[in-house]
Structure 1
Amino acid sequence: MKIILPVAGKGTRLRPHTHTRAKSLVQVAGKTVLEHIIERLKVLAADELIFITDENGQQIEAFMKRVFPDLNCSYIVQKDRLGPAHAVALADPRIAEGDDVLVVFNDTIFVTDLTRIPELCAEADGLIYSKEVEDYQRFGVNVIRNGIIVDMVEKPDTPVSRLAQVGLYYLKDANRFMQYLDQAIQAGDTVKGEFYLPAVFMRMVNDGLRFRAPEIDAWLDCGKPETLLETNRYLLEERHSCQGDLIDTVVIPPVFIADGVTVRGSIIGPYVSLATGTTVEASIVRDSIVNADCQVKDANLRFSILGNGVRLAGSPRRMNIGDDSLIEMDS
């Protein structure tokens, strides 16, 4: 199996944090989004991970070599921003005869059992993983008949389906998938100048290929600050860890406090992630993500995200601060 991971994109909804780093390297629950995803993919023992990157590709490559040195990875730069289907098509030179392929987009962390792929795809050509949602008008949805996808509707006005596509796709025949991607690109199947995967899949469906839409257990959005904090809460329910140096401090679980963190005279939690090198003093921190090497003093933080190297002194209630910032507020 080959796994394609399109990790290009500006991540504008997560600014200021994505001004200085790739969006998949933003932290949540003590790890980067990418690390959470890769750990879920390791059960597949894939032959190769193919990253489709942008100008931040060196950050991704350095991260993978440091954290997952044993994985076989390759990196392809998407120079022209022509959409997700175009990004996936760039992996074509890495696909060999007989390969199957999993495509994983990095805006979300998924919770599902990937070892069931052979079982789920036994009588189908592919899987388009889905999640039932209430606000179906925001998503592309799969329309199912007798367990097989018969149509895909982008942001429907009426509830033709509530099964939203979650950005996780499996194709049994990777070579044939690449051929359909090329057909769609050659035909100019664009929406506002970009190529999207539903148009490719509908070509395949119309030619008689069969896709199932298995529902994942959880769909954890990491695309904007408020949903990143929601994902932090979900993951910390399963990952409470407290390794730092705590002095005269009350901890309300669940939290993730990394080794190398020092906390004095503070209240931490619930739902707080503190990355290594951070110091917190005389503060209350709740429902927040504080990245590496921060200094927080005399603060009351809630629903906040601090980037790497932030120095914050004062009593704000809610902050969204990028890397290497200095904020001082009078008492």
Structure 2
Amino acid sequence: MKIIVPMAGRGSRLRPHSLTVPKPLIPVAGQPIVHRLVTDIAKVLKQPIEEIAFVLGDPAWFGDDVVNSLKALAASLGAKASIYRQDLPLGTGHAIMCAKPSLSGPAVIAYADTLIRAQFDLDQKADAVIWTKEVDNPEAYGVVKLNENHEIIELVEKPKHFVSNQAVIGIYYFKEVGVLKEKLQEILDENIKNGGEYQINDGIKRMMADGNIFKTGTVDEWMDCGNKAITIETNKRMLGFLKADGEAQLVSPSVTLENSNIIEPCFIGEHVVLKNSTVGPFVSIGDHSSIENTTVKNSLIQTHSTIKNGNLDQAMIGNHVKFNGNFTSISIGDYSVLE
């Protein structure tokens, strides 16, 4: 089994936090988004992962540190890492084709801007599986249309009339991903674009037209990391799941507590100092940060940051930040000072 991860986008909706760190590498509940996504997919697949192919953007943005972290991620799952580049933002189909040498055999394709919780078995009779989530407002999503055999026969974008409540979340399984590669190559050769880009859906529709059987794999939870507010909510939900799972070491034993309280669930990294503060619930704090005379809940604070005299709620603070003040729902990017 292979996992293909297109992640070349800059994550503009999550600025300022994605100005210095690619969005898939921003930690949520103590782990980068892409690391958590790939690890959770591997758990669902319940089979050895042979290769993980990452499609990155400009090397000036996705540099050696990113590449090394992704190679380490693949190695932790017993897989080979392959690194590809998408030089121009030409769409989801184009991004997949940038990993053309890896597009053979069974594979999962997953876009690295979402997190999931799922437990199901892949339908072995299907040629492909599109992972979906039941939603209350399907008109806001791309959804699948099913026939009487519960096979996907159409993809419908933001339907005006009810089609189904199964929203496409951006994760796909192909029994033979080479078939998708063949269809996407046709799309590229014929210069077929939607919204000015080459889309995976056009390749999938051609597979359906050829009689390939598509089924759904419904996830229990689907969490986005699109902007600050949604990312904070995802951090909160993920901490709750990790606590329920009995995840060990959510709070590092190296944390220094001075007249401070931690209200779980929280993730607190290595060598964090808490002085005269109350932290939690639903707070993530990265390594080597310091919190003093502050109350913080429902917030994300990254590494090497110093927070003083705050009352934070629904806040997202980057790396190497200095904050001293009485603002509450703030969003501060890396290397910023607000005093």
- Normalised-by-shorter TM-score class: over 0.9
> Please, what TM-score do these two structures have when normalized by structure 1?
0.93
Distance 1:30 1:126, change over 3 A: same
Residue 67 (structure 1) shift: 5.0
CA drift of 1:242 comes to 2.2
* Residue matched to 1:183: 186
Where does residue 236 of structure 1 map in the other structure? 239
Query: What is the CA–CA distance in structure 2 between the aligned matches of 1:219 and 1:252, rounded to whole Å?
Result: 25
Q: Note the C-alpha offset of 1:184.
A: 1.7
Matches within 5 A, 1:163-182: 163-182=166-185
Aligned pairs for 1:145-156 within 5 A = 145=147, 146-156=149-159
Equivalent residue for 1:272, pick from 266, 280, 283: 283
Distance in 2 between residues matched to 1:133 and 1:149, nearest whole Å:
17
Structure 1 regions of 5+ residues with no counterpart? Answer: none
Q: 1:301 to 1:53 in 2, by over 3 A?
A: same
Q: 1:239–1:256: 8 Å Cα contact kept in structure 2?
A: no
Give, in whole Å, the separation in 2 of the partners of 1:325 and 1:315.
16
Aligned-residue offset at 1:313: 0.4
Structure 1 CA distance for aligned equivalents of residues 174 and 262 of structure 2: 46
Percent identity, aligned pairs only, is: 30
Give the whole-Å Cα distance in 1 for the aligned partners of 2:290 and 2:72.
25
- Alignment partner, residue 21 of structure 2: 21
Query: d(CA) in 2 for partners of 1:67 and 1:249?
Result: 34
Aligned residue pairs, count: 322
Q: Tell me how far 1:79 sits from its aligned partner.
A: 0.9
Q: Does 1:104 align with 2:110?
A: yes
Q: What displacement does 1:211 show?
A: 0.1
TM-score by length of 2: 0.91
Alpha-carbon distance in 2 for matches of 1:254, 1:37: 20
Partner of 2:296: 285
Amino acid at match of 1:249: S
> 2:268 is aligned with what amino acid?
I
Distance in 1 separating the partners of 2:220 and 2:6: 22
Q: Partners of 1:49 and 1:206 in 2: how far apart? A: 29
* 1:209 match: secondary structure: coil
Partner secondary structure for residue 239 of structure 1? helix
Note the C-alpha offset of 1:21: 1.1
Please name the residue that 1:88 is paired with. Answer: 96
The one-letter code of the counterpart of 2:143 is V
2:332 is matched with which residue?
A: 321
RMSD of Structure 2 on Structure 1 (CA):
1.5
Contact 2:271 2:289 in 1 (8 A): yes
Aligned 8 A contact 2:75 2:81 in 1: no
